[in-house]
Amino acid sequence: MQDQVNAIPVAQRRVPWNKGKLTGAKPPLRPKHVWSIRTKLQIEGRARDLAMFNLAIDSKLRGCDVVAIRVEDVAASGYAADRATVRQKKTGRPVRFELSEQTRQASAQDLTRRMPCPGQSCPSPT
């Protein structure tokens, strides 16, 4: 009886959190997925998210580089530029990319929403 009490319990097999999930590199977004995401962001009126998404698609940068982009990198004079250059964090190399018309429009819309409005209250940048 005492042998059974002091016996070492057998460890239960835990199911891995990623069992059955796709691991490794994911397939790229298809054009129909890109358009559906853009349409959804436009319908919801999320100008900042739309500008960031378009910028990510145009630049093909890593996520950490996209979120580090500042307004001055894309629109130095208050207007969205045709081209932008960003230095990658991982490699340290500068990446030059062209902004599509949709990205320039979305950036301009986000900029006008954020700019201080004289004599009236403006929406917050959130």
Residue-range definition of the domain harbouring residue 77:
31-111
The string of DSSP letters for 3-56 reads HHHSSPPPPPPPPPTTTTS--SSPPPPPHHHHHHHHHHHHHHT-HHHHHHHHHH
Count of structural domains within the chain: 1
Q: What is the pLDDT of residue 5?
A: 60
Q: What is the pLDDT of residue 108?
A: 81
Position 97 in a domain: yes
Position 2 in a domain: no
Low-confidence residues of the chain: pLDDT under 50: 118-124
Q: What is the pLDDT of residue 10?
A: 63
The whole-model pTM stands at 0.67
Per the rule left: phi > 0, alpha: psi between -120 and 50, beta: everything else, 24 is left
Q: What is the pLDDT of residue 4?
A: 62
Q: What is the pLDDT of residue 83?
A: 86
